[in-house]
Amino acid sequence: YYPPLRPVRSRWLALASYSVMCYLAGVAWFMGLAFEPFTLRTYMSENAMGSTMVEERFPAGERALATGREFAAHKKKVGGMPVDWLVKTMQSRGLEVFTQSFTRKLPFPDENKERYMVRGTNVYGILRAPRAPRTEALVLSAPCSEGNNNNQAVGLLLGLAQYFRSQIHWAKDIIFLVNEHDLIGMQAWLEGYHHTNTTGGDWSPLQGRGGSIQAALSLELSSDVITSLDLVLEGLNGQLPNLDLANLFYAFCQKIGVLCTIQGKLQRNDWDTTSGYSHAAQTMMLMVLKQASGRPWGDHGLFLRYHIEAASIRGINSFRQYKTDTTTIGRLLEGMYRKLNNLLERLHQSYFFYLMPSLSRFVSIGYYMPAFGLLAVILLLRALDLWVQLGASPPGTEDGVAGGVQVSYGPSSPGVLSILTPVVISHMTGVALYTLPILSQEMAVQHFPVSETEAVVLTAIAIYTAGLALPHNTHRLLQGEGTEEGWRVLKLVALLYLAVLLGCTALINFSLGFILALSLVPIAAFITPHTPKALSAAIMVLLSPGCTLLYCVFVFQELQETPVSLQDGWMLFLSVISQGILDHALYGSLVYPLLALLIYPCWLLLWNILFWK
């Protein structure tokens, strides 16, 4: 009735071929997602934004630029945010103006943006809705950046404020926000607005509020004319705004005739050629990499946490002939806000889980999840196989009656201790990786000639590498010999752990889950103590989460068409690590704790299996 188990060798081969097939199928599926016939064309799902036609009449682009120049002059004079001038200007445009000051001490100096003790002020003006009970609001924000950046954005923001003030159809409050120190200011403002404090910053409470915020756009413009507008969607922890927001942007770009890009890539029509396909694939992979990083890629990124649909619009000025002036951008924004103003409920009709191979095409969760599923199924197959092996291995229990699967008192028999010890030690290493870099920076700076930032990053790398010595230490703690059954149980635990972990990660942030699965699934599937040690160890190290991050840095640069040398790539890798730690400390990004506390220990378990004695 139950067929006898196949000989070990042929079963191993069958399983290996299934695993390889699943893996290749998963990768192929993923790559296929960028192929245009397999994707869907975007369409507006929200009725309130669909049928109503809006006439855009914003006229004052030139005046906005003049305001921008005035702002730049004041910024230069004050040497930071010209708070008084902004308050005065906003007030003169008929807004209710409030300011919020904030201070923030970073856990260690941020060398990319050269800041440590951050002190700043947000200025925002509220245009009260004349037509409705002011229970809802929209936000338009522009960052006040260092140097000469984004002056035009602030100018346009003020110009739009003045223009919107004269219109009567606003049913939602419109909040015009100029935030200093980009995301830190945005974080302070959002936490102040919602009365929360998740990351322990220090800011003054907001004096004025609008209704509950329905949608937000963040504007970044650094030149008087632009060639194209880039839409940035990726927010904190890989969260994306509702697809309808992207649709809205795309629809207006089409209507007004502005070139629009996503990931800085224009859309092409030649999907049936190789270069057309590779262009779409590159765009999608850029999105995947950005999403996987879990960091907010624009000032909009923190809104998403509060259930507010938000995106950044970035003006790009390149060497193209065709230019768009500020008036046109103003009209585009006017149109978008008019449509958002028509919303009767929060944007929810369209997708929240999607990838975009171009601005007019998307892949929804139902299409991309199978790619991950095919990888995850390998882990489950392996686990099942191990379970069957564990049941069949003790001799003398060949028994047709009890059913095909027989287990001799299961996982407890090889000694809970021999399994528990590696699990506990791996996790303690993970905890060390998570806590020590920041805690020990002072000590490191005293003893080594490095800056604080370098100290943090290098400590992290040192602990990461020190974890490789772990199997040795684990065995010292264990008295007995590790049994054949012992590593199987450990591997079963590691496989299931990894499967659950990756599954949960992929649900929250598909890209991160998929990238981790790509690198971890092969080693999880094939690692045993009997594989050739040196070769397997080399492969394991090359596919470890840290190295995956390194490859991602290179691939990202390659895809952005700014390839870097090995040296620069390494420096970039170091700065990515410090940024990841900072993102966690400042905004509560979860990628660093996920990698340090869960993924890395899981990888260490597999490493332990390789060196099982």
Partner 1 sequence: MAAPLTLLLIVAVTIRAVLFRSSLAELIPERVEVVSPLNAWKRVVEGLALLDLGVSPYAGDVFHETPLIIYFFHFVIDYAEIVFMMADALTAVALYLAVKDYNKTVFRKQKYALEAERYPLDCLELIRTPKEMYYIPLKVAMFYLLNPFTILSCVAKSTCGLNNAVIALFILCTVKGSSLMSAIFLALATYQSIYPLTLFAPALLYLLQRLYIPVNWQRSSFWLFTTQYTFMYLGSLCVMVCLSFFLLSSWDFLSSVYGFILSVPDLTPNIGLFWYFFAEMFEHFRLFFICVFQINVFFYTIPLSIKLKEHPIFLIFMQIAIISIFKSYPTVGDIALYMAFLPAWNHLYRFLRNIFLVSVVLLACSALFPVLWHLWIYAGSANSNFYYAITLLFNVAQILLVSDYFYAYLRREHHLTHGLYLKRKDGSEATLVLK
Tell whether residue 307 is a contact of partner 1 (CB under 8 A). yes
Closer to partner 1 by Cβ: residue 334 or 385: 385
Q: Which of 313-347 are b and which e, b meaning 16 or more Cβ less than 10 Å from the residue's Cβ?
A: bbbbeeeeeeebebbbbbbbbbbbbbbbbbbeebb
SS3 at position 193: helix
- Helix H, strand E, coil C: the string for 24-78 is HHHHHHHHHCCCHHHCEECCCCCHHHHCCCCCCCCCCHHHHHHHHHHHHHHHHHH
Tell whether residue 352 is a contact of partner 1 (CB under 8 A). yes
Among 4, 133, 400, 449, binds partner 1 (CB under 8 A): 400
Tell whether residue 214 is a contact of partner 1 (CB under 8 A). no
Among 121, 162, 239, 548, binds partner 1 (CB under 8 A): 239
Stretch that binds partner 1, among 276-284, 401-409, 513-521, 549-557 (CB under 8 A): 401-409
Closer to partner 1 by Cβ: residue 307 or 320: 307
Closer to partner 1 by Cβ: residue 471 or 513: 513
Stretch that binds partner 1, among 94-102, 126-134, 167-175, 394-402 (CB under 8 A): 394-402
Among 383, 521, 553, 602, binds partner 1 (CB under 8 A): 383
Using left for φ > 0, alpha for ψ between -120 and 50, and beta otherwise, residue 295 falls in beta
Stretch that binds partner 1, among 281-289, 398-406, 527-535, 567-575 (CB under 8 A): 398-406
Token pair belonging to 174 = 């419109």
Closer to partner 1 by Cβ: residue 97 or 602: 602
- 8 A C-beta contact, residue 157 and residue 176: yes
- 8 A C-beta contact, residue 137 and residue 210: yes
Other CB atoms within a 10 A radius of the CB of residue 468 amount to 16
Stretch that binds partner 1, among 321-329, 399-407, 437-445, 520-528 (CB under 8 A): 399-407
Shortest CB 188 distance to partner 1, Å: 20
- In the block, residue with structure tokens 């700043």: 120
**Pick from 516, 486, 481: nearest CA to 500:** 516
Closer to partner 1 by Cβ: residue 239 or 579: 239
Rounded to whole angstroms, the Cα distance separating 382 from 390 reads: 12
DSSP state letter for 597? I
Stretch that binds partner 1, among 184-192, 271-279, 323-331, 493-501 (CB under 8 A): 493-501
Closer to partner 1 by Cβ: residue 27 or 384: 384
CA 581 to chain CA mean position, Å: 14
Question: What residues does 175 pair with on adjacent strands?
Answer: 126, 139
Among 402, 428, 431, 439, binds partner 1 (CB under 8 A): 402
Tell whether residue 338 is a contact of partner 1 (CB under 8 A). no
Q: What is the DSSP string of 502-551?
A: HHHHHHH-HHHHHHHHHHHHHHHHH--TTS-HHHHHHHHHHTSHHHHHHH
Closer to partner 1 by Cβ: residue 109 or 414: 414
Start-to-end CA span in the chain (Å): 38
- 8 A C-beta contact, residue 394 and residue 489: no
Tell whether residue 348 is a contact of partner 1 (CB under 8 A). yes
Shortest CB 571 distance to partner 1, Å: 34
Shortest CB 353 distance to partner 1, Å: 6
SS3 at position 324: strand
Other CB atoms within a 10 A radius of the CB of residue 149 amount to 15
Tell whether residue 410 is a contact of partner 1 (CB under 8 A). yes
Question: What residues does 310 pair with on adjacent strands?
Answer: 216
Closer to partner 1 by Cβ: residue 28 or 402: 402
Rounded to whole angstroms, the Cα distance separating 73 from 67 reads: 10
Q: Which of residues 523-582 bind partner 1 (CB under 8 A)?
A: none
Among 147, 403, 480, 563, binds partner 1 (CB under 8 A): 403
Closer to partner 1 by Cβ: residue 85 or 367: 367
Shortest CB 197 distance to partner 1, Å: 14
Using left for φ > 0, alpha for ψ between -120 and 50, and beta otherwise, residue 27 falls in alpha
Q: Which of residues 496-515 bind partner 1 (CB under 8 A)?
A: 496, 499-501, 503-504, 507-508
**Pick from 324, 332, 331: nearest CA to 251:** 332
Closer to partner 1 by Cβ: residue 31 or 365: 365
Site string for partner 1, 169-208 (x = CB under 8 A): ----------------------------------------
Rounded to whole angstroms, the Cα distance separating 601 from 597 reads: 7
**Pick from 186, 270, 196, 258: nearest CA to 228:** 258
Tell whether residue 462 is a contact of partner 1 (CB under 8 A). no
Dmax (CA) for the chain in angstroms is 91
- In the block, residue with structure tokens 């200093």: 180
Stretch that binds partner 1, among 68-76, 101-109, 301-309, 470-478 (CB under 8 A): 301-309
Shortest CB 209 distance to partner 1, Å: 21
Interface with partner 1 (CB under 8 A), residue total 32
Tell whether residue 76 is a contact of partner 1 (CB under 8 A). no
Tell whether residue 585 is a contact of partner 1 (CB under 8 A). no
Closer to partner 1 by Cβ: residue 57 or 348: 348
Tell whether residue 1 is a contact of partner 1 (CB under 8 A). yes
Shortest CB 336 distance to partner 1, Å: 21
- 8 A C-beta contact, residue 206 and residue 302: no
Report the interface residues with partner 1, using CB under 8 A: 1, 239-240, 304-305, 307, 346, 348, 352-353, 380, 383-384, 387, 399-403, 405-407, 409-410, 496, 499-501, 503-504, 507-508
